[in-house]
Amino acid sequence: MLRQNLQQKLLQKLSPQQIQFIKLLQVPTVMLDARIKEELEENPALEDGSLSVAEIENQYSFDEDGGNESGSDDSSESENLDEFNIEDYLQDENESDYGTKLDYGSDEEEDRKDMPMAYSSTFYENVLSQLHLIDLDDEDYLIAEQIIGSLDDDGYLRRPIHSLVDDLAFSKNLDVSEETILKMLSLVQSLDPPGIGARDLQECLLLQIKRKLNQSKPIQLAIIIIEEYLEEFTKKHYDKLEKNLGITDEELKMAIQEILKLNPKPGDTFADNSKQLQVIPDFHITNKDGVLTLMLNSKNAPELKVSRSYQEMFQTYDKSADKDKKLKEAVQFVKQKLDSAKWFIDAIKQRQQTLLKTMKSIMDFQYEYFLDGDERKLRPMILKDIADQIGMDISTVSRVANSKYVQTEFGTYLLKSFFSEAIQTENGEEVSNREVKKILEDCIGAEDKRKPLPDERLMEILKEKGYSIARRTVAKYREQLNIPVARLRREM
């Protein structure tokens, strides 16, 4: 049985303006310029305030006779067109342009020129250029080209040989055997950089070390270790290696030095620069005689304004005595574009204000640290501390901290790195876990690499310094610092 009933619900939904602001807030500076250019292309009512009038006129041309040429007239549509107030869109001659040109402490001395990027050939281009120098028939060249195209970014061939047979059959219409592909694979493995085309780490290292012209005893010993005892070597079971090979500590040390000279990822030699993301700081903090000054990157404060040409169209409509349907439709279109332009400008303004407000609170909270960059002066700070200070939601602070960078006199850092949990010392004082990690890193850096410190000993050292933490916490901090266990830190 079907029933109809009427219910009232109180729901909280984000407006389009709020959604637009949230999206702009989490956009990093390096991508903000592209986002603004995209909006300028889509909305002709939005203009770049840094351009001259002549440059803007060259970008946009308006057709005064444009519009819908249909002669049909609908009274209901005409009523809807009159719902908005023209006076809201008219602007006094003495009134300044509606735009984002506000003083946010931007660094005027910042170089706004595009950063030059050095051109370098990619890994694949370099290998293919070597292939062109070899005298091959068409079929062999296509096979070698297919192998090179199947290499991973680190230079390894992880695609099975039988899959390459299928690839050549479908893409090149070649019917070849696995033996033929293995033969061409050997040719590819003879190219530079040494080690490319290897199917695993062992083959990669062997390809490199067998190319050495000086096949001395340490190199011959290194080849035996790679071929027969690679697992023992990677786990640093040096005692077992000396016993099985019947060699001394010095002989093993010389062989290991030869292995450590090899590159486990030969493809990284020609890393593609286009994949490297350029870090552009959102803020600049300078120290002038003990007083910190915060400045917003000028790229975060673009000069945008609403087009006067579109505003003048409203004045033409207001003065026109004959308000026909075609003119009303044109004005309706202009209204939508003007609203969109003002929403975008307001979102940019709100983004600038939120960035500065959040960073100012972080700088004040960690003032002692920003004076000299000593990590031991970092105070425990969580997202809620900053959110409470600026009166915003934790999610807003998180969006700012996760994608924004600040440039200081001692380096450029992600804002997220300044947030840390609190650890209580034996005397009841709360310190940042960043301070504990720094001490842990210093202890491991100063250890005897022949007898590295285990986690139990590191825990005891921290307790002696007044930091009472468990061994598993030491292991967690060590892993966060990308430091291996004691056995893997051992050196000969």
Q: Give the pLDDT confidence score for residue 314 in this predicted structure.
A: 65
Asked if the peptide bond before residue 218 counts as cis, ω within 30 degrees of 0, the response is: no
Tens-place pLDDT, residues 253-297: 999 999 999 999 998 766 544 445 567 888 999 999 889 999 888
More confident residue, 273 or 384: 384
Tens-place pLDDT, residues 62-118: 344 434 333 444 444 444 444 555 555 545 444 445 555 544 554 444 444 454 555
Residue of 365, 479, 492, 339 lying closest to 432 (CA atoms): 365
Q: How far does the chain reach from its first CA to its final CA, in angstroms?
A: 83
Confidence of residue 167 (pLDDT cuts 50, 70, 90): very high
* Those residues with Cβ within 8 angstroms of residue 271's Cβ, 6 or more apart along the chain or in another chain: 123, 153
Longest dimension (CA), the chain: 106
405-408 vs 283-288, strand pairing mode: parallel
Q: Give the pLDDT confidence score for residue 51 in this predicted structure.
A: 54
Supply the mean pLDDT for the chain: 80
Q: Give the pLDDT confidence score for residue 78 in this predicted structure.
A: 42
Confidence of residue 49 (pLDDT cuts 50, 70, 90): low
CA distance 371 to 410: 10
Quick check: pTM over 0.95?
Answer: no
Report the pLDDT averaged over residues 130-142.
92
Q: Give the pLDDT confidence score for residue 298 in this predicted structure.
A: 74
Q: Give the pLDDT confidence score for residue 151 in this predicted structure.
A: 93
Q: Give the pLDDT confidence score for residue 307 in this predicted structure.
A: 77
More confident residue, 215 or 316: 215
Confidence of residue 436 (pLDDT cuts 50, 70, 90): confident
More confident residue, 55 or 420: 420
Phi–psi pair at 114, nearest 5 degrees: -65, 140
To the nearest 10°, report the CA torsion of 417, 422, 424, 428. Answer: 110
Core vs surface per residue 338-347: b (16+ CB within 10 A) or e: bbbbbbbbeb
More confident residue, 104 or 251: 251
